[in-house]
Amino acid sequence: MKVCFVVPPPKTKDRTPERVYGCTFTYYRQPELPILYAAAVLENDGHTVELHDYTNGEAWSDFHKTVDSDDFDVYVFHTVLLAESIDVKAARYILDKTRARIIFFGPQPTKEPSSFLLDERCFVARGEAEFVIRDLIETFKTGADSLVKGVSCLKEGQMVEAETYGIIEDLDSLPIPARHLDELHGAFNPKLPDEPVTLALTSRGCSFKCYYCVPNAISWAREIEWKRFHDGKKPPVRLRSPESVAAEFEAIRDEGYRGVSIGDDMFLYGGKKRIIEICRRLEKVGLPFGMLARCDMILDEEVVEALAAAGCRYVDLGIESMDQAVLDDIKKGVKVEEIREAIALLCKHGIEPKANILLGASPLETRDTIDHTVKELSSSPLNYCMFSIATPFPGTEFYRIAKKEGWTVEPEINDLEKNLSPTDKALVSYPNLTKEDLEKAVKRANRGFYLAPKRLWFYLRRATSLSTLKSYIKTGWKVTR
């Protein structure tokens, strides 16, 4: 069958939904990894697959032209919360102009399937969806009427839902993502030295209990579906083998990419032996990469040495606060001293640490705790630090508690798609820390950090080309404005 994966044009250029992690608008472009995984599975099954991404300046007229002129059998949308209205708008046009079927997948259709079942030609592939989509399209091809595991759809005007597909137990059974479909051929990442870069996953899921957390979109859809059928419990983490990881890095290198961002919710799973084996293999590939990690899991110097030797250039650290009471309240499970140790150890071995800070995730947050966090991190050896406002996303424990305690700001909390901008828009307000306090604090923090002369000089030295310099300026404007 002929299948088209679609990323519709955004409402405005500066409010393009970021779909890989799914909880903000785009700062810089990233390959649509959830789509590339699903597309690779379909290609392996013999289908003709195309990706049409209209987020690089194209208009709705371009999308309309594609739909009007092509004869796709199936259109597929990977939808996150911030993209729901534009994806539904695009789907309605397809339904009006063609006889094609439409499949939605991703965290938002998994959470609210009824919102995407516009008529009986619409289907939702819930949870970890690659093989669900494959099996569903096979029924389109054969004309079978059986309901595929993991699918929600309409029958005689009523929603029906099959039992859950569950999770993919063997991640090595997934093909390498179909990066050849990415017309952008990679993206920019300010923490890696050269372009183009791409994304990769070596695991899925996270076992930790941070109560505000929304993981990457693949893990989030997986988690929403699993919790629904398993009494609210998180799904187990699943890991790829070192051999599989190294094989994908080799393929990425051979396709001409010059860096990889590992998008795992927490890369350092599976024990020291597995991580060092991955590093040993990646050292032979010779491709710079970065990753996400918890501070308390990056304190083994042998592991950090192995990462540095393998080509690790940066580590994103979820820090959130430098106040211990706040960390304990949000169930971070990390000590402030471990944060300091992790930053120092990474710097010692030439790996760039980046701090991610969520202001206002706890009612214990005050102006003083924020000032303390900003002051300590601004005076640290960090060159990258993203200060954002914690958002109570639907489906998180933070959302449930915020609604119960009355911390949410109405009506914005029920209209996230239109109003959310986590760097400067507060959707919570506490008695001792108002919405306005948070919004002012995050602007002061990002401006003070990134406009410091020593950091401006650092970025200028790292800009190895005019295009990279332009990307730095564009990203910096979005962060500090």
pLDDT bucket at 183, cuts 50 / 70 / 90? low
Please give the pLDDT value at position 193: 77
Mean confidence (pLDDT) of the chain? 91
Q: Which residues lie below 8 Å from residue 278, measured CB to CB, with a gap of 6+?
A: 202, 242, 245, 246, 310
Q: How confident is the model at residue 118 (pLDDT cuts 50, 70, 90)?
A: very high
- Encode pLDDT of 235-255 as tens digits: 999 999 999 999 999 999 999
Structural domains for the chain: 2-161 (3.40.50.2300), 176-480 (3.80.30.20)
- Tell me the pLDDT tens digit for each residue of 20-62: 987 777 767 788 999 999 999 999 999 999 999 998 878 899 9
Give the pLDDT confidence score for residue 461 in this predicted structure. 65
Q: How far apart are CA 479 and CA 455, in angstroms?
A: 14
Higher pLDDT, residue 189 or 211: 211
The alpha carbon of residue 433 and the mean position of all alpha carbons in its chain are separated, in whole angstroms, by 28
Q: What's the start-to-end Cα distance of the chain, in Å? A: 46
Say what percent of the chain tops pLDDT 90.
75
Cα gap 213→356, rounded to integer Å: 12
**Section 159-169 average pLDDT:** 97
Task: Check residue 23 and give its pLDDT.
Answer: 79
Is 134's pLDDT higher than 90? yes
In this predicted structure, what is the pLDDT of residue 466?
59
Comparing 15 with 199, the larger pLDDT belongs to 199
User: Phi first, then psi: what are they for 469, rounded to 5°?
Assistant: -60, -45
Rounded mean pLDDT, 422-436: 86
Asked whether the predicted pLDDT for residue 464 surpasses 70, the reply is no
pLDDT of residue 15: 80
pLDDT on residue 57: 77
Among 124-138, 168-182, 183-197, 453-467, name the one with the lowest average pLDDT: 453-467
- With a cut of 90, say whether residue 423 has pLDDT above it: no
- On the question of pLDDT at 306 being above 90, the answer is yes
Q: What does the pLDDT read at residue 449?
A: 87
- The per-residue pLDDT for range 369-388, each reduced to its tens digit, is 999 999 999 988 999 898 99
For the chain, give the secondary structure using H, E and C.
CEEEEEECCCCCHHHCECCCCCCCECCCCCCCHHHHHHHHHHHHCCCEEEEEECCCCCCHHHHHHHHHHCCCCEEEEECCHHHHHHHHHHHHHHHHHCCCEEEEECHHHHHCHHHHCCCCCEEEECCCCHHHHHHHHHHHHHCCCCCCCCEEEEECCEEEECCCCCCCCCHHHCCCCCHHHCCCCCECCCCCCCCCEEEECCEECCCCCCCCCCCCHHHHHHHHHHHHHCCCCCCCCEECCHHHHHHHHHHHHHCCCCCEEECCCCCCCCHHHHHHHHHHHHHHHCCCEEEEECHHHCCCHHHHHHHHHHCEEEEEEECCCCCHHHHHHCCCCCCHHHHHHHHHHHHHCCCEEEEEEEECCCCCCCHHHHHHHHHHHHCCCCCEEEEEECCCCCCCHHHHHHHHHCCECCCHHHCHHHHCCCCCCCCECECCECHHHHHHHHHHHHHHHHCCHHHHHHHHHHCCCHHHHHHHHHHHHHHHC
Confidence of residue 471 (pLDDT cuts 50, 70, 90): low
**Interior CA angle at 375 toward 369 and 379, to 5°?**
150
Average pLDDT over residues 352-369: 94
